Amino acid sequence: MGAATIVVCEFPSLKVVYEASEHVRVTEPYEAGFLAFRESPCILALLAKLHRSCPHLYPQVLLVDGNGILHPRRCGIASTVGVLADLPTIGVAKNLMEIEGLKRKVVATAARAALHRRGDHVPLLSRENGELLGAALKTTDASPRRRPAHSL
């Protein structure tokens, strides 16, 4: 069993205007790199329910707990949900996937040196071709420097 949640906020106030949670039966096992197969059906179901009940609150952009293009196949859960829901998405991952030469220790060292106040970020570039894959971001002034969010 699992829990799926969707929260819609106004911008720029970030006032919560809609939220829904459901307990869901998860049918796919956890497999690193394949989170989209396990969790995207739950997210898509909540989006469909929102669209039916409150279409005027349907989001213009979606933040997804997981990676987007910073993924070995360039298609993490954020990218998958974005394509299937026809919505722009931003992947917000808690842990860095070590791909294309990106290493946790190197990124952590760069983040400690550069992330001092809210909004500071360190681009995460492919060591193979220089492509921007994401960013380590300081989201609040109070957030610790040891664990930045990674997105894109």
- Domain-by-domain residue ranges, the chain? 1-93, 95-152
Residue 146 has pLDDT above 80, yes or no: no
% of the chain with per-residue pLDDT over 70: 94
Query: For residue range 63-78, what is the model confidence (pLDDT) as tens digits?
Result: 999 999 999 999 999 9
Q: Taking residues 88-96, what's their average pLDDT?
A: 92
Tally of CA atoms within 13 A in the half-sphere of 136 that contains its CB: 28
Domain 1-93 homologous superfamily, CATH: archaeoglobus fulgidus dsm 4304 superfamily (3.30.2170.10)
Q: Give the dihedral sign, CA 29/64/145/143.
A: negative
**Dihedral of CA 10/85/2/34: which sign?**
negative
Query: Does position 151 have pLDDT exceeding 60, yes or no?
Result: no
Q: Which residues of 112-124 are buried (b: 16+ CB within 10 A; e: fewer)?
A: eeebeeeebbbeb
**Is the separation of the CB atoms in 57 and 50 below 8 Å?**
yes
Please state, in angstroms and as integers, the Cα–Cα distance from residue 65 to each residue in 36, 53, 94, 112, following that order: 11, 24, 8, 23
